[in-house]
Amino acid sequence: MSRKKISWSQLSPRAKAAIVATAAVDAGLRAWALADLAGRDDAAVRGPKKLWGLGLGVVNSAGVLPAAYLLLGRATRMA
């Protein structure tokens, strides 16, 4: 069972808007999370700081990974 690929031009305006909005939210959350991570000490991050940075920089997760870092990955508030 194979799925037929749909080109960008075949998408509805609503589908195109949803894709663009999701990408914008992901980019904003990713930038916020990476900036926050860069300003934190290793002790203020739950888990390996380098692994968070790698994941946030490489993985495309539609905003899920940056949200997970912002909600769960920060051990303490910044001073």
Amino acid at 22: T
Q: Is the pLDDT score of 79 beyond 60?
A: no
Which pair of structure tokens corresponds to residue 70? Answer: 């912002």
Rounded to an integer, what is the distance from CA 7 to the centroid of its chain? Answer: 25
What is the 3-state secondary structure of 39-79? CCCHHHECCCHHHHHHHHHHCCCCCHHHHHHHHHHECCCCC
Q: What is the pLDDT of residue 41?
A: 87
24-72 pLDDT tens trace: 988 999 999 999 999 888 888 888 889 888 888 888 777 888 888 888 8
- Determine the Cα–Cα distance for residues 64 and 39; give it in Å rounded to an integer: 21
Instruction: Please tell me the predicted confidence (pLDDT) of residue 10.
Output: 92
Q: Tokens for 61, please give them.
A: 């997760």
Asked if residue 16 has pLDDT above 70, the reply is yes
- Residue that wins the pLDDT comparison between 59 and 12: 12
